[in-house]
Amino acid sequence: MNLFNRVVPSRRQAAPFPPQHRTGAPESATGVLPDPRLANLSGEWVVDPAHSRIGFSVRHAMVTTVRGCFLEYESRLYFDAHDPTRSRADITLFTSSVDTGVEQRDAHLVGRDFLDAATYPHMRFTSTAVEQTGADLFRMSGELTIKGVSRPVVLDMTYIGNVTDPFGYDRVGFDGTTTINRSDWGLTYNSRLAEGGAMVSEKVRLQLDIAAIRTPPSTG
């Protein structure tokens, strides 16, 4: 299989961010110097759905873990290599696209007990701040909106690498994780086990395995 098959993300691409206006030299609250490997990555990017996974995992019945992902989403990303604090991300997930590999379970998740996709077709993450914490480590704060409820979350991000593929596309990889309490967003449905404990854990781990492609600069 060609890992660099010529896939250009085209599904529901969001409008680009407005241009950045730099007002001075970059500052770093942590004193971490910009990684020279990131020097050429400044600009607009979009998640490549063919090589990315925006997913989650949750403990089920206290003894196993169920994993799933969202297959449909809009994305717009901006990375500033010289001043990572100016970087930002906006990702909208289509709740009806949840996929855990079990049709009956997916139908339950998109129903009123959980995501209620008919009423709330989207969930969204919008960054509010980015901090570089190491040579290839970043902390991205933002607002996560589920079922109309917006609450702050913090993603721990790791820079994986960048490459120009055989078709001339610039690609960059980041992994991100955070853990949330689903009841904070009104996802409170549960069943109790006879042995004690809950059928579905309150804690949900969100996992973003992102491969992004640079978008060409707009003209005109």
Give 132-143 pLDDT, tens digit per residue: 999 889 999 999
Q: What is the pLDDT of residue 188?
A: 84
Residue-wise pLDDT tens digits, 161-202: 999 989 899 999 999 999 999 999 998 887 554 454 556 788
Contact predicate 200/190, CB 8 Å = yes
CA angle 144, 41, 31 (to 5 degrees): 75
- According to DSSP H, which parts of 46-133 are helical? 103-110
pLDDT score recorded for residue 174: 95
Nearest to 99 by CA among 131, 54, 132, 135: 54
Residue 52 confidence (pLDDT)? 96
CB contact at 8 A, 57 and 66: yes
pLDDT by residue for the chain (220 residues), tens only, comes to 333 344 445 445 555 555 444 444 444 444 555 567 777 889 999 999 999 999 999 987 566 899 999 999 999 999 998 888 999 999 999 999 999 999 999 999 999 999 999 999 999 999 999 999 998 899 999 999 999 999 999 999 999 999 998 989 999 999 999 999 999 999 888 755 445 455 678 899 999 999 999 987 655 4
Residue 32: what pLDDT?
54
Per-residue pLDDT at 127: 97
**Angle, CA 136 vertex, CA 152 and CA 162 arms, to 5°:** 105
Torsion angles phi and psi, residue 103, rounded to 5 = -60, -45
Q: What is the pTM of this model?
A: 0.81
